[in-house]
């Protein structure tokens, strides 16, 4: 074997090992993050965290019960706003549209998807906060719902389009109208994929902080109804992490663990159980 | 097919069946109209967003014009606003992030697409997807409590001692700063680079590899000299996509960049970014011009990511011919 060939083989093995290392480093970042949060969050979490309101500044103890409920309310309202628009819009794109209108809608959705979340926050501020004259759960949910629309829309379209043609033709041949075909054949055939995408969209906005800063704002007490400023887990993590108090840092870790745990569980469940055998679109 | 008459099924009187069919038709038209309204609302919202950003920043645009982008003063008391420190901070942190993330991400993507057996590749990709799902505020939390102290005690001394004569590595270091933000951001954008690059590499036709191997190249040579050049435009697309994410990244950067509107050559110095200043000052902005200057920063951010996302999608479509599914 010539030295040249030996060198080339050596180089090949070296570089391929390097790429393996790159992959290893990237993936281990996930386990590092998870391990660190489990350790720090696990030692900080307690029953009070889930059941109590935040204590006044300077006092230790207390919890984030209001932020947990606030996040839940925000996500519920965001889904109620974002999912129908995305879902029905997706049906239009896949089933009813002419190519010209469809491409305008598609283009807008892609554009909306790329808008930085902080800019979405500015938009929600001028659309909801300014007219109502105060921060509210509603404004936060508007911002989050807006971020769910493009993902829901594009994946609904994609999964509806991937329904086999003969199912559609079968329903038509039985005399079903187009609406009936969509409602009773096509959507049921595609629902698992669509549901997966919606869950992933929900998991994504669950961790969003930037659009909530000046929409839902924050609140150290319970938020009654939908028109008051509300606390949320991501914003609490932010405020507590940059604060100078040790006890707040402890609670930030606990909140981080709860939030990340929730997001990863939704992700894993959606990707493995619900979407077995379906290619999940990336958000 | 043409001989089959769909109305043949009806046994009842012709008139009744026709109205039945036309009712169904009407149902279809209603469904069409309803879904159209929802689809159109997406367009309306997007147009409204651009409109609000444009109208909402009218005051500073009229007052400062293009000077907004080249002045360094950010003084709410004098009511004078210049965006340069923030634009600088955003570009420097994104640059650092890409410098770290691109080699690592592309290396990992090559491993996943070319070397790893499909099952392992899919498993690793699953973890990479989970990594992409970790919210930005969690990265910020880890940044504040791990990367910032690490920067102060390990990274700064070890870079400052041998390279301190260069302006980029001059001290002092407070832990927070451009480099810290860049490192945290790099970890955040790696998953995007890996996922898209892997997809692009996997779409390179098999015969390209086989031809290179048949000509006697080693595994690495076929990968680096044939497969990667073939996928080059798509990989560029993945980098643009990552850059767009990095520019708009808010929380993690806000927590570790130091929040000081200053332009410094040193990477260890604290700085500020466009997204971070909006996040910090928007609720405290008193006075219309102050608030609108922040909205104009939002407009700048929007335009930057708009251009980058468009370019990225175009490049990815060019290589895979099925881009939009990936470009999200």
Q: Which of B24, B108, B220 sits opposite A23 (nearest CB)?
A: B108
Q: Determine the longest span between alpha carbons in chain A, in angstroms.
A: 80
List the domains of chain A with CATH numbers: 74-232 (1.10.3720.10)
The pLDDT of residue A129 is above 50:
yes
d(CA B156, CA B55): 44
Cβ neighbours of A115 in B, within 8 Å: 49, 248, 302, 305-306
Q: Which of B60, B90, B251 to mutate to test the interface with A (most CBs of A within 10 A)?
A: B251
In this prediction, residues B204-214 reach a mean pLDDT of: 90
ipTM: 0.91
pLDDT in tens, B74-95: 988 888 899 999 999 999 999 9
d(CA A256, CA A254): 5
Confidence band (pLDDT; 50, 70, 90) for B25?
low
Is the CB of A119 less than 8 angstroms away from the CB of B144?
Answer: no
B149 close contact with A: CB closer than 8 A? no
Cβ neighbours of A171 in B, within 8 Å: none
Cβ neighbours of A22 in B, within 8 Å: 103-108, 110-111
**Residue A268 Cα, gap to closest chain B Cα (Å):** 8
* Beta-bridge partners for B75: B80
Q: Please report the number of interchain residue pairs, chain A to chain B, with beta-carbon separation below 8 angstroms.
A: 289
In this prediction, residues A71-76 reach a mean pLDDT of: 96
Confidence band (pLDDT; 50, 70, 90) for B11?
very low
Is the CB of A178 less than 8 angstroms away from the CB of B129?
Answer: no
pLDDT in tens, B111-165: 999 989 999 999 999 999 999 999 999 999 999 999 999 998 988 888 888 888 8
pLDDT in tens, B30-79: 888 899 999 999 999 999 999 999 999 999 999 998 889 998 989 888 88
pLDDT at residue A37 in the model: 94
Do the Cβ atoms of B245 and B192 come closer than 8 Å?
A: yes
Residues in B 17-36 with any Cβ partner in A closer than 8 A? 24-25, 27-28, 30-32, 34-36
B104 close contact with A: CB closer than 8 A? yes
Cβ neighbours of A238 in B, within 8 Å: 137, 140, 251, 254-255
Confidence band (pLDDT; 50, 70, 90) for A275?
low
**Residue A86 Cα, gap to closest chain B Cα (Å):** 8
Do the Cβ atoms of A38 and A198 come closer than 8 Å?
A: no
DSSP label at A210? Answer: G
pLDDT at residue B9 in the model: 45
pLDDT at residue B17 in the model: 55
Cβ neighbours of A8 in B, within 8 Å: 218, 221
d(CA B258, CA B151): 13
The pLDDT of residue A195 is above 70:
yes
| Both structure tokens of B86 | 């923030």
Do the Cβ atoms of B203 and B231 come closer than 8 Å?
A: yes
CB atoms within 10 A of CB B9: 9
Do the Cβ atoms of B178 and B96 come closer than 8 Å?
A: yes
pLDDT in tens, B259-316: 999 898 899 999 999 999 999 999 888 888 999 999 999 999 999 999 998 888 888 8
* Beta-bridge partners for B81: B74
d(CA B317, CA B327): 8
pLDDT at residue A278 in the model: 58
Confidence band (pLDDT; 50, 70, 90) for B327?
very low
The pLDDT of residue B1 is above 50:
no
């Amino acid at each position: 074997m010539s030295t040249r060939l030996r060198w080339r083989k050596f180089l090949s093995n070296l570089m391929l090992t390097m790429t393996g290392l790159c992959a290893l480093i990237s993936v281990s970042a996930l386990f590092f993050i998870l391990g660190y949060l489990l350790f720090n969050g696990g030692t900080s979490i307690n029953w009070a965290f889930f059941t109590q309101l935040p204590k006044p500044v300077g006092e230790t103890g207390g919890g984030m019960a209001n932020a947990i409920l606030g996040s839940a309310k925000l996500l519920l309202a965001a889904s109620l706003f974002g999912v129908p628009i995305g879902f029905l819009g997706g049906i239009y794109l896949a089933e009813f549209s002419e190519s010209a209108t469809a491409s305008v809608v598609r283009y807008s959705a892609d554009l909306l998807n790329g808008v930085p979340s902080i800019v979405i926050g500015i938009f929600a501020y001028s659309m909801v906060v300014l007219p109502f004259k105060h921060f509210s759960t509603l404004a936060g949910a508007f911002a989050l719902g807006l971020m769910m629309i493009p993902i829901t829309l594009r994946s609904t379209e994609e999964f509806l389009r991937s329904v086999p043609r003969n199912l559609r033709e079968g329903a038509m041949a039985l005399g079903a109208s187009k609406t009936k075909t969509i409602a009773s054949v096509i959507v049921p055939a595609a629902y698992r994929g669509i549901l997966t995408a919606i869950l992933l969209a929900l998991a994504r906005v669950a961790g969003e902080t930037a659009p909530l800063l000046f929409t839902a704002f924050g609140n150290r007490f319970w938020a009654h109804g939908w028109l008051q400023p509300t606390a949320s887990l991501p914003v609490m993590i932010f405020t507590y992490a940059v604060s100078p108090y040790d006890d707040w840092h402890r609670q930030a870790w606990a909140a981080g663990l709860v939030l990340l745990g929730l997001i990863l569980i939704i992700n894993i469940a959606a990707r493995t159980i619900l979407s077995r055998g379906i290619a999940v679109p990336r958000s | 097919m043409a001989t089959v008459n769909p109305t043949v099924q009806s046994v009842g009187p012709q008139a009744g069946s026709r109205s039945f069919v036309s009712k169904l038709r009407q149902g279809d038209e209603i469904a069409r109209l309803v879904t159209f309204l929802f689809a159109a609302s997406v367009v309306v919202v997007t147009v409204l967003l651009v409109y609000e950003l444009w109208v909402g920043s009218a005051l500073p645009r009229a007052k400062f014009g293009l000077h907004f982008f080249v002045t360094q003063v950010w003084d709410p008391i004098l009511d004078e606003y210049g965006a340069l420190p923030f634009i600088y901070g955003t570009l420097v942190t994104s640059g650092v992030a890409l410098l770290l993330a691109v080699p690592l991400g592309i290396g990992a993507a090559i491993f996943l697409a070319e070397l790893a057996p499909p099952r392992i590749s899919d498993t690793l990709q699953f973890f990479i997807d989970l990594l992409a799902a970790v919210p930005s505020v969690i990265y910020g939390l880890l940044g504040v409590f791990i990367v910032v102290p690490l920067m102060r005690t390990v990274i700064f001394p070890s870079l400052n001692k041998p390279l301190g004569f260069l302006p980029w590595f001059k001290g002092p270091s407070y832990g927070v700063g451009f480099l810290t933000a860049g490192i945290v951001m790099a970890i955040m954008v790696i998953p995007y680079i890996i996922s898209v690059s892997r997809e692009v590499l996997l779409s390179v036709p098999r015969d390209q590899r086989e031809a290179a191997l048949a000509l006697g190249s080693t595994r690495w040579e076929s990968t680096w000299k044939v497969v990667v050049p073939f996928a080059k435009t798509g990989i560029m697309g993945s980098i643009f996509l990552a850059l767009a994410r990095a520019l708009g990244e808010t929380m993690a950067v806000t927590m570790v960049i130091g929040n000081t509107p200053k332009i410094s050559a040193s990477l260890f110095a604290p700085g500020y970014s466009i997204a971070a200043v909006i996040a910090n000052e928007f609720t405290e902005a008193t006075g219309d011009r102050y608030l609108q200057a922040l909205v104009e920063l939002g407009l700048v951010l929007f335009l930057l990511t708009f251009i980058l996302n468009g370019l990225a999608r175009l490049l990815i479509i060019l290589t895979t011919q099925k881009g939009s599914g990936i470009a999200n």
